[in-house]
Structure 1
């Protein structure tokens, strides 16, 4: 990876469940402190770093990437000291058993593990049953009294996972959406825009695009671009290439649609033109389901031209997600080039 792998590692290994993005917020403010003309945080916790345009500061572009990761909230502590969970975001329960987690308690972080009964003691029916979040529990390795003193209902829980280079890919937890947040931060350090750009690190995307919708009330941009990951199903389970959506190593994905938005065709075409002019590897994305902050901007402050750039991701919404280093670099390159060539004179009307 040409970009700063240490920063990406810091972002992905930091913890920030929806509504509890404090640690990520600190990193964002630190990284953009020397770049932005103004940094502010709203009541929901969205961070907006504004870079004033040198030629047409009245024309405004908003770029958004979300800070939160899927996680859990403690909903009950049993007398024996086991924690029952409520999901914050869309988990696949099949991959959660026997995984290490971090419980973010008032007095500090606690290590735990999601329990998994040994198969030797399970009936055939139990082995074939489908897990649900309500069936899971966290074991802190402490007795009930200790746990009751340390953990409260409402404490959040995130996965405990390190970030590693694996061949040409980068793997770890919360690549959704920290890899795109990383791309936004790196692009912000490169650009010298003619127009004003608001770099927005949003909250609570994983529970309904809530941060972007709230931010769209405060910001009234002329153009909005969101960065998020997208599905890369280029794996053995998907022999039908039409279901891959994107492929790792194919470059930055320029979104045409997902479950929440159809991007503006003129914005998308300009993104393609910039990618071709700058020789940035890219591919087109048609995502059947799922949503991004793009829709949050489109729905809150009237009709806005919107576009989106995605980083292809394998194993999305699991414990270990994987992105290709070249795709991350391509996303940074494309976003920076797109912003540097935005003059405020492009006609995005349909």
Structure 2
């Protein structure tokens, strides 16, 4: 499932292809499928109808590009969707989703033979980049179906790396969260839990947590958990206190992000559950970004919320890396949390 979701296309605002695929995974493990009018989708599983309602959601969208214009020579100028860093973009393969089908292209780059010493030390600005689809005129590009507004996403196969538990693929931010929601539903199949769970994924997180805002109004949860990814601090060049987590040491619980301070009682409840269940857990603090919990927690008079997920390397690029055991431990911990989250716990979470 993670492979299929990773390789599916779904830039922010254009999640339909991955949403349709994702729904096929939700349906067998849900009592009912629930959708809002913004593309978000969750599976509903009733444990106790009069228990707390819990929203557990990743986000379907990935960072991408948008066709802005076609030059007279047939090159594609683009607008970024979500947060890109220019240094990870040049010479990378992409696919343009047109009304006539998918077209492969490459973000063009000048060969080093033609670069002056000064140019080699300069960063190419995104506004100066273009995509080459192998045609020689605007008319040829239009004949293939390309037009302004078409979404563009990275091409990157999902592959196993040297450690058999470590995988690389595109859009792991946040197809890992989407897959987690499905696996929690699967783990609860036939199990008792003192609540009603809504587990699935939002849309347009990467452009401002937009789908989270519509979904939380649709579900009206008592408690929410945003499923997202963290930044692994175990690679060269990252200070150990800038990114606290590492691959293979357990899922992460965010103690701070740019969109939310987590409910402290909910934070402690998850930490205590991990300790009781002997499941490894890491903490992470990310000042430079937010999660869907940033919208969930402000719904109505307030929703106790946390953000939780897998640590990953190289997010917001063509390929990221994660550890499968972190994913599996995350599913196990969330399943245990759902089994314990009754009205007594909810009342405690609200008593701030």
TM over 0.5: yes
Matched residue, 1:157 = 152
Contact 2:178 2:200 in 1 (8 A): no
Matched residue, 1:53 = 47
Contact 2:11 2:61 in 1 (8 A): yes
Query: 1:242 aligns to what SS in structure 2?
Result: coil
Q: What are structure 2's unaligned runs of at least 5 residues?
A: none
Matched residue, 1:231 = 231
1:277-296 superposed matches below 5 A: 277-296=276-295
Cα distance, 1:28 vs structure 2: 2.1
Query: 1:291 aligns to what SS in structure 2?
Result: coil
Contact 1:8 1:178 in 2 (8 A): yes
Contact 2:180 2:327 in 1 (8 A): yes
The separation in 2 between residues aligned to 1:85 and 1:124, in whole angstroms, is: 28
Matched residue, 2:303 = 304
Matched residue, 1:84 = 77
Matched residue, 1:102 = 95
Contact 1:25 1:67 in 2 (8 A): yes
1:195-344 superposed matches below 5 A: 195-238=195-238, 240-344=239-343
Cα distance, 1:73 vs structure 2: 0.3
Matched, 1:65 2:58: yes
Over aligned residues, Cα RMSD in angstroms? 1.3
Query: 2:230 aligns to what SS in structure 1?
Result: strand
Contact 1:216 1:301 in 2 (8 A): no
The separation in 2 between residues aligned to 1:292 and 1:324, in whole angstroms, is: 21
1:115 to 96, 108, 111: 108
TM-score, normalised via structure 2 length: 0.94
Matched residue, 1:174 = 171
What whole-Å deviation, never above 9, does each CA across 1:288-342 have from its counterpart, x for those lacking one?
A: 2200011111123331111121210111111110111111111111111111221
The separation in 2 between residues aligned to 1:25 and 1:174, in whole angstroms, is: 14
The separation in 2 between residues aligned to 1:225 and 1:288, in whole angstroms, is: 19
Cα distance, 1:36 vs structure 2: 1.7
The separation in 1 between residues aligned to 2:215 and 2:124, in whole angstroms, is: 36
Matched residue, 1:32 = 26
The separation in 1 between residues aligned to 2:220 and 2:202, in whole angstroms, is: 16
Higher mean C-alpha deviation, range 16-25 or range 141-150: 141-150
Cα distance, 1:12 vs structure 2: 0.3
What whole-Å deviation, never above 9, does each CA across 1:3-24 have from its counterpart, x for those lacking one?
A: xxxx110010111000111122
Matched residue, 1:22 = 16
Query: 1:248 aligns to what SS in structure 2?
Result: coil
The separation in 1 between residues aligned to 2:204 and 2:68, in whole angstroms, is: 19
Contact 1:245 1:287 in 2 (8 A): no
Q: What are structure 1's unaligned runs of at least 5 residues?
A: 1-6
TM-score, normalised via structure 1 length: 0.95
Query: 1:34 aligns to what SS in structure 2?
Result: helix
Instruction: Give the 4+ runs in structure 1 shifted more than 3 A.
Output: none
Cα distance, 1:244 vs structure 2: 2.6
Query: 1:277 aligns to what SS in structure 2?
Result: helix
